[in-house]
Amino acid sequence: MSNAANDSLTGNALRPHAATAWGRLAARMQATPRLSGFVLVAALLCLWEASARLGWVNSQNWPPVSLVLVAVAQGIASGELASLLLSTLRRMASGYVLGCGIGVALGLLLGTNRWLRYVLKPIIEVIRPIPAPAIVPPLILFLGVDDALKIFVVSLACFFPAFLNTLAGVETIDDVLLQTARTFRVGARRTLFQVVFPATLPMIAAGLRVATGIALVVTVISEMIAGSSGIGYYIIQMQYAMKPEAMYAAVLLLAVTGYLVNRVFLVVEQRFIPWLGK
């Protein structure tokens, strides 16, 4: 038998195995969507590396991702990035708890009190379209550039998704539940905490999850505009110092932090609202 024939037979024999391997990989990625997401992120990082190494993007401000990862490792090892990130997360958590707490409480109150809803909701709707970064310069005149400013801006940004989702959840409660509570002469306070709040919990959770992403973004922006510490301030300083590796390292660390914050929220949500999404 000729060499060409042997090569043909070998190729025909290997082709089904290759197809089977690709089929198994595709099936596994379909079964675990999260794996597909990680594969896509890895592919984008490889594309970033190739674009910088091969000169597809010819700029000193576009370093290879390998150098950015080295900068991340050095920043974490030295403790600089870790301390900056912790200060940012502290401001974010303070504003998040304050804004979401007020938003949920006010949403429940306005949802169960029609008179208050008519009085206060127009005021809230007037304030809501104002972008959070736009109010930073005026607030500097009153609050300065310390943590009070950043916490206030974050709490204001987190207030609206928490408030609107809570109010929408109260307004969509099945009237049968409320009528049943009235039939059994359940008091207003017990109705609020034992009927209204549990029925509204899925909508509240949705608003709180939206607020987590907004809180991180607004915290970083406020640090960029009026900051002297934090990861947002660090990014601006590295930009001015023409250190793109350190700048992108902070951005990459923020991306990972945002993903981890979202995962933690989902774990807590599944722990306390196990019926959600089923």
Residues 169-213 have pLDDT tens digits of 988 887 777 778 777 777 777 877 888 888 889 899 999 999 999
pLDDT of 27? 56
> What does pTM read for this prediction?
0.82
The Cα angle at residue 235 between residues 87 and 134, in degrees rounded to 5: 80
What CATH class does 67-272 carry?
mainly alpha
Q: What is the DSSP letter of 135?
A: G
Residue recorded with tokens 């934090």: 230
pLDDT of 33? 63
pLDDT of 87? 94
Q: What is the DSSP letter of 131?
A: -
- 205-264 per-position pLDDT tens digit: 999 999 999 999 999 999 998 878 899 999 999 999 999 999 999 999 999 999 999 999
The Cα angle at residue 54 between residues 51 and 56, in degrees rounded to 5: 50
Q: Please enumerate in sequence order all residues whose Cβ is within 8 A of that of 247, keeping only pairs 6 or more positions apart, or say none.
A: 235, 238, 239
Residue ranges per domain, the chain?
Answer: 3-64, 67-272
Q: Please enumerate in sequence order all residues whose Cβ is within 8 A of that of 119, keeping only pairs 6 or more positions apart, or say none.
A: none
Cα Rg, the chain, nearest whole Å: 26
